[in-house]
Amino acid sequence: MLSFKRVLTAGFLLAGIFFSLTGNAQQAIPLYPGAIPNNTDAPDEEVVNASQGVSKVSRPTLSIYLPPRDKATGAAVIVCPGGGYGTLVMKREGYDVAQALNELGIAAFVLKYRLPGDNTNKDKSIAPLQDAQQAISLVRQRAGEWGVNPAKIGIMGFSAGGHLASTAGTHFSKAYISHPDGISLRPDFMILVYPVISFSDSLGHKGSRERLLGTSPAKAQVDLFSNDLQVTTQTPPTFLLHAGDDTVVPIGNSLRFYEALLRHGVAAGMHIYPTGAHGFSKAPAKEDWFAQCRTWLKANSFTAP
């Protein structure tokens, strides 16, 4: 079983600093080469806590984890940590996951996306999606440099990061970023871990919805960002993981998305744990969930060159 909990030994919260991991250099780079779209001129007030979680993110970055060349499969995953659109669980749902993916020969790109804010974004509802689209575009654009097959680029998200990942996987036909080169913004697959999917009153995670859309969003906007309602035949193949005892994000989010995928003929897999709680803090999900991801990735040929 993969050593998912392995602790990173290098300080890599400073963008542009390299460190050694599995023999390859890693780097955190600004997500945008120039001005950040949809940002105001508000100052950077990002806060980093002792566990490498971050809040008040207004300057997005992409942290690059490349596997050793002799293990590389060409597949890549953009990883979106969760945190209810109010914080980002960067280590446990980002950096640690990237290391585990590298052990499978998969390149990983941890997305520190903007957390929606009325003072930092002109339209906070689209800021995280812009960052997800930019990450997909950037990895495709630089695929040759990073040893990635541009047709094997997936996205993975946890909790609210799962909402962002599923938004990227269902809203790719409209570019929310400057897109003159026409590079596809569609991820080739999705892995959604205890994801927020619906913003409906019955299923939606209230905190995530309010932070992204405000306290009184119009029904049309709620429906637009309820991603089970946005599934089409072009939605990428998806693997979902959830625990039945999740009281923070009800399992109905994953069930509803899975049913929508099946209705539209999209290849889908799902693993439900009887216990695990939100964040997979309890057995059996805590020890087993990444092994399920590995099995799905292998079955879909993402762990083979």
Q: Which domain holds residue 134?
A: 23-34+45-299
Determine, yes or no, domain membership for 40.
no
Other Cβ atoms less than 10 A from the Cβ of 113: the count is 27
Quick: pLDDT tens for 20-74.
333 344 799 999 999 999 999 999 999 998 778 999 999 999 999 999 999 999 9
- The pLDDT, as a whole number, for residue 12 is 28
CATH number for the domain spanning 229: value is 3.40.50.1820
- pLDDT per position as a tens digit, 104-159: 999 999 999 999 999 999 999 999 999 999 999 999 999 999 999 999 999 999 99
Contacts of 42 (CB under 8 A, 6+ apart): 58, 117, 119, 120
Whether 12 is covered by a domain: the verdict is: no
Rounded distance, CA 138 to CA 76, Å? 12
Q: Is the dihedral of CA 230, 236, 237, 240 positive or negative?
A: negative
Q: In the numeric block, which tokens belong to residue 195? A: 């994801």
Number of domains in the chain: 1
pLDDT tens digit sequence for 214-269: 999 999 999 999 999 999 999 999 999 999 999 999 999 999 999 999 999 999 99
The amino acid occupying position 240 is L
90 in a structural domain: yes
Within a domain: residue 18? no
Specify if 1 maps to a domain.
no
SS3 292: helix
Is 136 part of any domain?
Answer: yes
Q: Give the percent of the chain with pLDDT over 90.
A: 87
Q: Is 295 inside any structural domain? A: yes
In a domain, 8, yes or no: no
Give CA–CA dist 34/55, Å, rounded: 22
